[in-house]
Amino acid sequence: MTATHPEPAGNAEAQGRAPSSVAYDDWIVKAFVVATLLWGFVGMLVGIYIALELPFWPANLDSPYLTFGRLRPLHTNAVIFAFAGNVLFAGIYHSMQRLLKTRMFSDALSQIHFWGWQLIIVAAAITLPLGLSQGKEYAELIWPLDIAVAVIWVVFAVNFFGTIAIRKVKHLYVAIWFYMSMVLTIAMLHIVNNLALPATLTRSYPIYAGMTDALVQWWYGHNAVGFLLTTPFLGLMYYYVPKTANRPIFSYRLSIIHFWALVFLYIWTGPHHLLWSGLPDWVQTLGVVFSVMLWAPSWAGMLNGLLTLRGAWTRLRNDPMIKLWVVALTFYGMSTFEGPLMSIRDVNSLSHFTDWTVGHTHSGALGWVGMAAFASVYYIVPDIWKKKLYSRDLINLHFWLGTAGIVLYVVPLWVAGITQGLMWKDLDASGNLVHGAFMDTVRVLLPLYWLRLLGGLLYLGGLVVMIYNLVKTVRGEAAEPAAVPAPAK
Amino acid sequence: MSLLFRQVSGELGAVWPAVLATVAFVATFVGIAVWAWRPANRQRFEEAARLPLDELPATEDGERSGA
């Protein structure tokens, strides 16, 4: 950002020279950042509300629209597709233009993508509380919305690959490969899992039956985690960690192995959601084996990110954005250790259907996805609004609120899950269940549910601090065009 | 040899495409690993790693979509 009179790409190209500047489309990045913060707040607020309903059921106000069963899918759809989805699009539009040294292929497609995606989110926010659902986890949206998602995704894909086609650099940086895996795989998963015969405007029947339907659903469900909440966020990590630390990634070659190992292995892991079910035993074993093999690439990626900070560990003390990335990567490592562990049959027989699973997903969602999203947005906002960050102390406060919130959320649910699992397995001397009534476990878990609510409140508090900080940043003084220090070797 | 092949292929039956696909994917992955760690590619990947740090600045007029 040191050039005082940059030369636009078009002029240089016309004269057959390499451009010295690019007219990036930053409007689309700003739009997705604003949507991220808005939907992040809404999605997490709904999460807080349903966390309250678990220990205090009268919070549903006796309204069918506010029951846990209807609001839970609203929460998961909002945080996965609205919060995480929008921050991914913001990061992808921001980083890919800069990595490929070109403007997006089509501004019109970018805008159709943005407005279409927001309309789908609004439609989901209306239909899910009304009870209009396909009843498939993370694929609850009714068939007309599924078609809308497919159309908007294709618009995004055309713009994405069009931008790659008009790039000004030969090499596709590894982050682009991670993004590409999302664009292709999510399209395939979404279309195959949502193939259905419409009966009315709001009801449909899946074309699969019984166990096949369950297998396709969890092939989709687990890979939605893999290719929406993991690989593209790793793409953001491979771009924003070097940018934040001002040094190249620890090992580019390791990042290549990380990418290919992850995409080869991830797609097979879905059956671990159906252990001890009617699914053929060999398919269950296949899911377990591939899940356990994922340990290696996942930890390779985590270490590659953390070791990028080698020689700069002192910044961990005073740079809150580095702290956010370190916590994000640490939770990536923890949750990708825990997931394969839970896929082992004997562990799964204890953990399945318990709050351990909820604790596991939230260590990934709050720890990895959330912290990586926050760190990326803290980098993007000053960069594209060209403003000084309002307060680094507030980022620090956000960091501590978020980290304390995650611990207070996840640890009680680990305890709750193992307690619940052990109580369900508890037999007396004659082989009968000691805790035959479901309410026996619920009574024991109530204090832990209150603690989890407190953790969620702290995490949401951190997001509110972030929104305040960024609003003040955007309204504040412009950043001076200071010389950027030479990056470390 | 041909008897052994017939026995093995007979037992594997419809699993053959899966076996071939697995071998092909493992071979592809090993090929990628060898390519990534080949000393001749070292310089190339070191340059690639610097791409996020070697960006072009933005022009002032390009912010708004359609501008």
Does the structure show a pLDDT above 50 at A480? yes
Rounded to the nearest integer, the mean pLDDT of chain A is: 94
Does the structure show a pLDDT above 70 at A241? yes
Q: Is residue A6 part of a domain?
A: no
Is any Cβ of chain B less than 8 angstroms from the Cβ of A487?
yes
* Range 28-67 of B in CB contact (< 8 A) with A: 29, 32-33, 36-37, 41-42, 44-53, 55-59, 61-67
Q: Is residue A22 part of a domain?
A: no
**A448-464: pLDDT as tens digits:** 999 999 999 999 999 99
Nearest CA in chain A to B48: A173
Q: What is the count of residue pairs from A and B with beta carbons less than 8 Å apart?
A: 105
Chain-chain contact of B62 with A1 (C-beta, under 8 angstroms)? no
**A122-164: pLDDT as tens digits:** 999 999 999 999 999 999 999 999 999 999 999 999 999 999 9
How close B32 gets to chain A, by Cα (Å)? 8
Is the whole model's pTM more than 0.90, yes or no? yes
DSSP string, chain B: -HHHHHHHHHHHGGGHHHHHHHHHHHHHHHHHHHHHH-GGGHHHHHHHHTGGGSPPPBPGGG-STT-
The two tokens of residue A290 are 């591939």
Q: Is residue A117 part of a domain?
A: yes
pLDDT of residue A20: 76
Q: Is residue A438 part of a domain?
A: yes
Distance of CA A174 to the CA centre of its chain: 19
Chain-chain contact of A6 with B25 (C-beta, under 8 angstroms)? no
Q: Report chain A's terminal Cα–Cα distance, integer Å.
A: 19
Percent of chain A with pLDDT over 90: 90
Structural domain boundaries enclosing A81:
27-475
pLDDT of residue A4: 36
CB-closest option in A110, A175, A239 to B65: A110
Chain-chain contact of B62 with A257 (C-beta, under 8 angstroms)? no
Chain-chain contact of A8 with B52 (C-beta, under 8 angstroms)? no
CB-closest option in B32, B48, B63 to A173: B48
Average pLDDT over residues A182-192: 97
DSSP string, A208-246: S-HHHHHHHHHHHHHHHHHHHTTHHHHHHHHHHHHHHHT
Neighbours of A181 (CB within 10 A): 23
pLDDT of residue A135: 94
pLDDT of residue B60: 58
* Range 361-400 of A in CB contact (< 8 A) with B: 384
Is any Cβ of chain B less than 8 angstroms from the Cβ of A242?
yes
The number of domains in chain A is 1
How close B38 gets to chain A, by Cα (Å)? 10
Does the structure show a pLDDT above 70 at A75? yes
Nearest CA in chain B to A245: B53
CB A326 within 8 A of CB A306: yes
Average pLDDT over residues A286-297: 96
The two tokens of residue A223 are 């890979």
Chain-chain contact of B52 with A257 (C-beta, under 8 angstroms)? no
Residues of B in contact with A289 (CB under 8 A): none
Is any Cβ of chain B less than 8 angstroms from the Cβ of A307?
no
Does the structure show a pLDDT above 80 at A53? yes
CB-closest option in A21, A257, A261 to B58: A21
Chain-chain contact of A248 with B29 (C-beta, under 8 angstroms)? no
Does the structure show a pLDDT above 60 at B67? no
Burial A367-406 (b: 16+ CB within 10 A, else e): bbbbbbbbbbbbbbbbbbbebebbbeebbbbbbebbbbbb
| CATH (domain of A58) | 1.20.210.10
**A320-376: pLDDT as tens digits:** 999 999 999 999 999 999 999 999 999 999 999 999 999 999 999 999 999 999 999
Q: Is residue A336 part of a domain?
A: yes
Residue A2's pLDDT band, with cuts at 50, 70 and 90, is very low
Residue B10's pLDDT band, with cuts at 50, 70 and 90, is low
